[in-house]
Structure 1
């Protein structure tokens, strides 16, 4: 009798999502990976091996989300780190960095969980992803508000969807593909600033964030909580 579990990761082709997918596969579980790029998805599935499958998905499109989950076997967990957005000052009055940010990061995760509901087992764990700016904003108020809203969503869903568990991972600056693909002139000052803002003096690794997400997926007594994996940034 098979003992493996199946998990879905929307945003599993890079960064924290890919690190979690690799950890799940390495321990013998199966993973359904979602990503925007078919080419990138194919490369990642080749790295993950036979225990992984995947589909392209746009987390901002409800029909795309429905198609992603269609035909999926029973899911023991869902992680939703996928989001593409930009941030800006309130005074800019920019729609993409305010309303567009919520569409990509908040509503994307909201509707992803809704689309997954028919496939989640009764003891499944859902992990949303916010960011430490929810508790300690440094400008970009729409970004801070969006992250706070996601953490509130996790609490509300934990109550309504029980016994399914819903938690939220709130990372700080992470040395992931997102930052590595940015110019040195942008990345290095951000990393240096983070060293003075947090307690451990460095950004997290994608693997450390994936460990935190895995804990939230696995621990049967964790629900309605936000886990700040931010090197003590919010503590300060």
Structure 2
């Protein structure tokens, strides 16, 4: 089957929390198992065999990422770059990157987290639910660091709980940093608008058809030193 789907990797953040462990590199280039973390994400997409274009949304030290991946031809898809001169937030970065996509549905990944998921099954779930936005979820014992989601019995997302510094959430389903979106939902957002996907867009979208897709596979967010330092061991075998 000819690849028809595009994906966006959000790789433009400042990486402030990780600077103590990786002071000189943008987060997606932080080495894990001897290679940039971004290699793990690109390999995950490559093995699916369904992607035509991968757009890497770059900002902070984005030229480092572009230099390393601009000439890659061994992935089975095109690698393009959406460059932010001014950081636009996760929502604004998606809006800008969508200008380079060609498919009506797009996978979006955070450039500093990995979630093990069958993307073909995610697509089937999205279509079955007639969703406008699907979020890959992971159940964790302590959702305080991430914030959690509330769902009904069909996995339709009803609300989002914010991160809590002092605890209180406990066990729950968290946003694992991978999405399948209908690109049309971003049509009304003006270009170059600074927006957070998590706080500005998703809480409004729950009025529409937003669904959770639960993964039981491996999940790690390398955005803080504590989890980054265990990534080599945790992701062994990938």
Please classify the TM superposition score into its range, dividing by the shorter chain length.
Answer: 0.3 to 0.5
Higher helix share: 1
TM-score by length of 2: 0.41
RCO comparison, higher one (Cα < 8 Å, 6+)? 2
TM-score by length of 1: 0.41
